[in-house]
Structure 1
Amino acid sequence: MLDEVPDALILRDSNGNILFANRQAEILFEYSQSELLSISFRQLIPSLQDSSQLPADSISLLQLPPRENNSELAGITKSGRNITVEVCSRKLPGSNTPLTLLSIRDVSNRKLFEESTRVNQERFRLLVESVQDYAIYLLDPQGNVLSWNTGAERIKGYSSKEIVGKHFSLFYPQEALEQDWPAQELKQAIAQGRFEDEGWRLRKDGSRFWANVVITSLFEEDGSLKGFAKVTRDLTERKKHEQTIQEKNEELEKALRAKDHFLATMSHELRTPLNAILGFTGTLLMRLPGPLTQDQEKQLRTVQTSAKHLLSLINDLLDLAKVESGKIELASEWLVCRELLQEIHRSVQLMADVKKIQLDLIVSPPELLIRADRRALHQILLNLISNAIKFTESGRVVVEVHRRNVDSRVEIEFRISDSGIGIALEDQSKLFRAFTQLDHGRSGKIEGTGLGLYFSNKLAILLGGRIQVQSTSGRGSTFTLILPQE
């Protein structure tokens, strides 16, 4: 029965001789039963000189002893390992020689844990006291300050002597006190275990700072309220930064509204006179008012060409402004690819004929459909095909469109290939930048704003697609528009 007791039990006489040891004593001190019976008890616990040092009458042979008043002593095992043990004793009556029964429990791990806990608590206390970026302090259940760290002194301006014992509502502005914020915050911390908020708080000198506040409720083991831990961080600079950003955003929104108004006005005020100029020059060139001399016709065609160029420039700028401001509205519909390309073909045929460039359309299958915004897709393809013709002196431009499956996705691919001047590899990354025109080494200046590809790429992204380019200088280029399909 005694071998089943979880503590080591040793029976000794007044001279320290061991008369009995249970199995747990063998395990604890690393001796066999016979070895224990041949040594003195003082060899196991050298610091114990007299059993009168130990709590008496605390051992029952059939029951674990109560250990509230047990002595902690240093013991040593057979291998020389130092251990800490709790020892209590009881003198056994009915014997001519005084006998003492000792109950011994190994508490080495507990002592190590207690020491580790003590060290960690001391480190934490020193850490909290030294933190300067956070005000960390404790409150009693009524909200009075119990402790005050260096960060609290720096942020709030009070020394520990000035503030300990004062109520924490001292840190709140008048409008917060009128709404009973301090009491409400503690109530929420008790109910939820934690409360967090941001708002204005007061320093000792009366100045305000924007604070992030976290209050954590602390409870005793029996569930009664012990108090609160409060952490306050000064976020005034962040608040100022946010206010600055908000003001800048408001200014930006105001500027955007002004820009939208300007664009709407410019759209009307610039396009109207240009359309009138184009209309009148067209009428004159048709000789409806009367015959023209050769010189008059030449000058009128110059006016007409310049007006068309200016109108195109204005349209590009206005379209660009709409894209960048998110004002373009897209409406998807089913389109017949062949019909759309034939429409564009008619628009650019004259340009191709003038340069004697062959323009081929290949649609596979011929009845291929695509779901997209008609105006946006038309604009992208028109820009890509026009560029191909513009930068090709002779040869051909081929426009191919087909459907392909990629990883369970369906895509429609438009490929525009030319036999033109090509684009050097180092210049290809510049193609989709706004107002960028590459130097192709041509003697004549290429007309345009440098917005065509930039605008086309923006539209492609809005359609959920992308534009890719493959080109070799002097050997032509291939631009590919890839659009996903549902």
Structure 2
Amino acid sequence: MDTTVTSEKAASRDAEPDVGAASWLQSRLIAFDEIVAVVEEYAIFTMTPSGEILDWNTGAERIMGYRPEEVIGQSNDCFFSEVERVGGVPQGILEIATRDGSFTGEGWRSRKDGERFWGHVTITALRSPEGEVQGFLQITRDLTQRRVTMEALRQSEERFRLLVEGVRDYAIFMLDPEGHVMSWNIGARRIKGYEQDEIVGRHFSIFYPPQALEAGVPFKLLALALKEGRAEQEGWRMRKDGTRFWGHVLITPLFDHSGELRGYAKITRDLTDRRQAESLREAGRRKDAFLATLAHELRNPLAPILPGVDIILRSPGDPEKVAGVASMLKRQVDQMARLIDDLVDISRITTGKIELRKAHVPLSEVMERALEAIKPMIDRQEQQLELDIGIENPVVDADPHRLAQMLSNLLSNAAKYTPSKGHIRVSVTPDADEDEMLKISVKDDGRGIAAEFQQAIFELFDQGGSGPAEGLGIGLTLVRSLAEMHGGTVSVASGGEGQGSEFTLLLPILVPGESAAGTVQTTAAQANVSAALRVVVADDSRSAADIMGMFFRMEGFEAAVAYDGEDAVAQAKVLHPDLVVLDLGMPKIDGFEACKRIRKLFPQAVMVALSGWGSREDRRRSSDAGFDEHLVKPVSPDDLRAFLASYFKKSRRAG
């Protein structure tokens, strides 16, 4: 059969069916019925070069809805919409198949009843041995269900993407298996401050502060997520601008169907406000506990004082009993004074009003003062105290009073937490890491400190999880603050509960053996003041004024007592004082005004201010008002005697 398509045949193709091509196709596809006619999953049929349908299998009838007699001889454009037919889509597809040998595509097609289905279509050009297109084979598969499923999945993914991207309260983003940021939602932009193009591709460790990076926290979290299936943590995180926020983080690994790690989902929530609220609640709880403890601690020394005073009043003729009770009263008053001093010092430190009076001071003198303060407590508990001074005549640049306070607080802490007959060891050595630092260690074999409390133990009012009921929880806070003010540090080490503790104080040291010239030394003055010296004491607290007047008389002064500023001036006019001690907060006229008036009358008198405040500003105000000295309440007898010794020498030189 001549399969050459002549120009006449080509011209008449649109006018009448191509009988030659149809015959060729029939001869080539004679076994169509036996091979594909019964296939139900695919619509398989052949067409002439112009698109008329030549045969029709069972699958085509099922998918398209046409019976063979309804469609054979019809054009294939019946499967297309009117818009597609007008647009030449059916013919265009055949032209592509003719040009390229085949056409493959997916799209909406129409069934006989007008219902649309999503079809996957392959049209293959059938050629004669000479290469002339003699017709087409079309195979169509109904993928409507897959299309619906995929579209539902796409819409679900789209909704999820919009949901994630629109969340403002959570930073939700993806990481690749190495931890690089792959996606970024609006919550991440709000919380962390980065725009998407600034952060995608960068490693998520950028969100962690230096301390966490040094500890390897980001990488440990990824490892934990892989091991446990999730990793959850709260901690400080960094924003783009360098500010910190308290974040709750959840990291979940993501695997594909084959079990291969594809990355991580990371959700971060900013809990800074909640943490601040919790901190305020915790501060309130600790304040309440502190006030309850303070009341308890102040009642303890008061309990023996009241009956002790009664015993003294009822036993004036029994010096031995009076002396014993007086010794007890002094210990209790000293305890109350230490509590009040600690409270005042904490207040001054937190408000920045505390001052250091540094000097080159031999450590031995300060150590002796600290040991003297704590020795009665150690003796009562029969504890063994060992000293190991591994450096000869160390001299430190420090405030001797504050240094003694730090050492006595550390010793008191060790004695308090060490059982009866326990051991306390104090060692002094040069610091191995810092040549110019002195290392003072106070080690005990007492109760010890659990690891979770070893940092918080220095916080205000915190006594640790195993702390006793007594104490205010401010001693170690004072030690830390004073150490830092001296340019040093304090730290703690403990193996845990029942394994003792070691507190280490590092302070700047001078050259060993360096002269201690300029050292402040406080020595008790001998009660040897001339009886010719006269003093006026004024305080609106009658008990305080009377006791201080009694003290000065016992020291050999002629003393007059006043209870307000006007009375103090009147007493001074009568007594012509050498020394005037004035409380600053008195009625009628205060201590400042009384000082000015007495100074005009008696320019040579030594004027001493008494106050519960001792900051630089307080001292400046008293100095501006004309006072020579500023003493902070409560003033101990030894401090007064030291002051009197200095005054006595001054007055004798002047005479």
Higher relative contact order (CA 8 A, sep 6+): 1
Could you say which structure has the larger radius of gyration? 2
Which has more strand, going by share of residues?
1
